[in-house]
Amino acid sequence: MLDIEAISAETGATIFKKGEQLLINKKVAVKSRNENSMTAKVSGQSVYRVKLEIADDKIVRASCTCPAISYQEFCKHCVATALAFNQQDDQCFAVEDDEHKIRVHLLQKTPEQLVDQLMDFVLDDPVKYKRLLFQIESMSKSYASGDLSKLLIKALPMRDVGEYDKVYDYFQNAEEVLAVFFEHAVKLPVSEYFALIDKASARLDKALQRVDDSAGHRFALVELLAEQSKAMFAQLDWSDQKKAKWVIENVVIGYDFNTTAYHEYLSTQELRVTFLKVCQGEVDKIEVPVAIIEREQNWHLYQLIQPLLEDAVSKGDVHKQAKLLAKSASSLSDLVKISELYLINDDEFNAQDWLLKAQKLPARDNEKRELQLQQIKVDSALGNRQQAWDMAWQCFTQQPNFQSYLQLEQHIELTGSFDVDYLKKVEEYLLKTGRKHSAVVLEFYLHHQRLDDAAKWAMSNDVDYNLLAKLSLRLIDETPKQAIIFCQRSISDLVQVSNNHRNTKAISYLTKFVTQWIDNSQGDNLLKILLKDLRGKFDTKRNFVKLLDANFADYLD
């Protein structure tokens, strides 16, 4: 399931609403979907094709053929498609019907009528006219390698293209010319064909520096080139050494747009071995300063190291992994990562060693905390429980917020409790500093199900409306009267500042409260009093009252 809230946060309410409306109005036709991608046709002003690429419940790339996507990260069609992704059934909607209508209409015509209509279209559109002529002429022509190179120039001219329609046309032309290119190139000897594809990829890479393709029109082309490239590469009669070098130069540290992973080119075990050797050779050639703070991030080195790292991981070779990570390390955090690597492989001595190296470097505040947290883990692994506890406690008291507390608890879970009285100690500490950190105290009590203490604390301290709301929901079952009091306080805090966002929040919270109240069969009386009371207290806040009346009419008569 996609995280819809993240999408809504990204697009803003207006676009999100429009996307929702498209789905509700059945304007989305799902064409294909799996875990990692979804394509759909969405009908708005015209029919648009949408493609979403998905990883870990997030959209990593969204493309749409509409104009809006060139200035938005995400258009309404993408929103609609994302929402459709989360729906269980793949219904096909209105979009298909429109297409179907046109298709049926055309099928009823005679070839002569169709040709007439087609001629009308082509004569109206000089670009299409030229393209069609080109296709016809290319059929009877024969193309040598040199002619095909010229086709690449025709397909991917070097010029600045920025406007959405122009970019769309640019790739439309590219695809059509390249269709002719592929048709003829495939007849060439493998090595010549491969060289041409290589040329095409390099040219596309260069062209993209001047074509603003934020809408992602290039992807079909990129995929096609990658497919052909892999297929031809496997058939080349090159030595493994030469192949390995090519993969490194062109895939590992190659074109920006290349979406093919290096191992897709490594079709045999022998080639794989040679490839890793050449990678290692390249890595060894790169010299880095011994002192880590003198290093800059070396992208080249980083890329070269990835295949070697993956290999070391698959073989479970921790020292090799550490060595590679150390070579490309350029910050204190990188060293902490090596320490962590040893730690999860039960080698606490090396973990300590690398942590010490990290501790010798100058550290910023957030890095200091990173070091402390790692120190706790290492000390726990080494059996230095008292030290680990002291450090964990220090981390907590440096930033006594609820997040810190949860971290403390996590360390306790991870390492076994070192201080049996830690809960008491935390509570005392929080109460001592509590006036400053009033919310933490309440969260602490709620977290440990100490509802009485939570209620007592909230009675005599300032707490924000979110926490009051949370508290009141928890109290419904045991002490409904108190629940009503906190609910009333939370809503009042919210509504006394007039703004629509807060009003909506208040209503959404009240709805939750009422639902849970009824689920617990607490009867209508107190609820009616609460709602009428709120209505009376805020009768000057007209928007709020309107919402109240619309949502809770049953209790307000």
Q: Which is nearer to Zn ion, 41 or 77 (CB)?
A: 77
Closest Cα partner for 496 from 441, 556, 541, 438?
A: 541
Q: Which is nearer to Zn ion, 18 or 437 (CB)?
A: 18
Stretch that binds Zn ion, among 64-72, 135-143, 312-320, 381-389 (CB under 5 A): 64-72
Distance CA 320, CA 302 (A): 15
Distance CA 386, CA 401 (A): 23
Q: Which is nearer to Zn ion, 213 or 311 (CB)?
A: 213
Q: Would you count residue 28 as binding Zn ion (CB under 5 A)?
A: no
Q: Would you count residue 75 as binding Zn ion (CB under 5 A)?
A: yes
Distance CA 377, CA 388 (A): 7
The pattern of x and - marking residues 283 through 322 that bind Zn ion according to CB under 5 A reads: ----------------------------------------
Q: Would you count residue 77 as binding Zn ion (CB under 5 A)?
A: yes
Stretch that binds Zn ion, among 61-69, 158-166, 191-199, 455-463 (CB under 5 A): 61-69
Q: Which is nearer to Zn ion, 64 or 430 (CB)?
A: 64
Q: Which is nearer to Zn ion, 48 or 396 (CB)?
A: 48
Q: Please, what is the minimum distance in Å from the beta carbon of residue 25 to Zn ion?
A: 15
Closest Cα partner for 450 from 411, 413, 415, 424?
A: 424
Q: Which of residues 369-398 bind Zn ion (CB under 5 A)?
A: none
Q: Please, what is the minimum distance in Å from the beta carbon of residue 487 to Zn ion?
A: 43
Which of 28, 66, 392, 548 is close enough to bind Zn ion by CB under 5 A? 66
Bridge partners, residue 28, by sequence:
42
Look up residue 161 and give its DSSP letter.
Answer: B
Bridge partners, residue 54, by sequence:
59
Stretch that binds Zn ion, among 65-73, 96-104, 256-264, 518-526 (CB under 5 A): 65-73
For tokens 């505040």, the residue is 365
Q: Please, what is the minimum distance in Å from the beta carbon of residue 51 to Zn ion?
A: 11
Q: At what angle do helices 402-415 and 365-382 cross, to 10 degrees?
A: 20
Stretch that binds Zn ion, among 2-10, 68-76, 240-248, 452-460 (CB under 5 A): 68-76
Q: Which of residues 434-463 bind Zn ion (CB under 5 A)?
A: none
The amino acid present at 523, given as its one-letter code, is: G
Stretch that binds Zn ion, among 47-55, 102-110, 200-208, 308-316 (CB under 5 A): 47-55
Q: Which is nearer to Zn ion, 28 or 174 (CB)?
A: 28
Q: Please, what is the minimum distance in Å from the beta carbon of residue 260 to Zn ion?
A: 27
Closest Cα partner for 171 from 213, 119, 111?
A: 213
Distance CA 383, CA 136 (A): 79
Stretch that binds Zn ion, among 62-70, 364-372, 381-389, 460-468 (CB under 5 A): 62-70
Q: Would you count residue 527 as binding Zn ion (CB under 5 A)?
A: no
Distance CA 58, CA 6 (A): 8
Q: Which is nearer to Zn ion, 57 or 73 (CB)?
A: 73
Stretch that binds Zn ion, among 73-81, 174-182, 213-221, 486-494 (CB under 5 A): 73-81
Per rule CB under 5 A, count of chain residues that contact Zn ion: 5
Residue 163 in tokens: 């406007």
Q: Which is nearer to Zn ion, 75 or 84 (CB)?
A: 75
Residue 458 in tokens: 């909230």
Q: Please, what is the minimum distance in Å from the beta carbon of residue 44 to Zn ion?
A: 7
Q: Would you count residue 64 as binding Zn ion (CB under 5 A)?
A: yes
Look up residue 250 and give its DSSP letter.
Answer: I
* Secondary structure element (H or E) that encloses residue 542, with its range: helix 542-556
Neighbours of 88 (CB within 10 A): 5
Look up residue 524 and give its DSSP letter.
Answer: S
Residue 405 in tokens: 């507390």
CA–centroid distance for 516 within its chain: 34
Distance CA 216, CA 279 (A): 32
Bridge partners, residue 175, by sequence:
none
Q: Please, what is the minimum distance in Å from the beta carbon of residue 72 to Zn ion?
A: 8
Give the sign of the dihedral formed by CA 12, CA 13, CA 14, CA 16: positive
Q: Please, what is the minimum distance in Å from the beta carbon of residue 64 to Zn ion?
A: 3
Q: Which of residues 339-358 bind Zn ion (CB under 5 A)?
A: none
Q: Which is nearer to Zn ion, 48 or 389 (CB)?
A: 48
Stretch that binds Zn ion, among 41-49, 115-123, 135-143, 331-339 (CB under 5 A): 41-49
For 298, phi then psi, to 5°, come to: -105, 100
Distance CA 71, CA 167 (A): 13
Contact residues for Zn ion, defined by CB under 5 A: 48, 64, 66, 75, 77
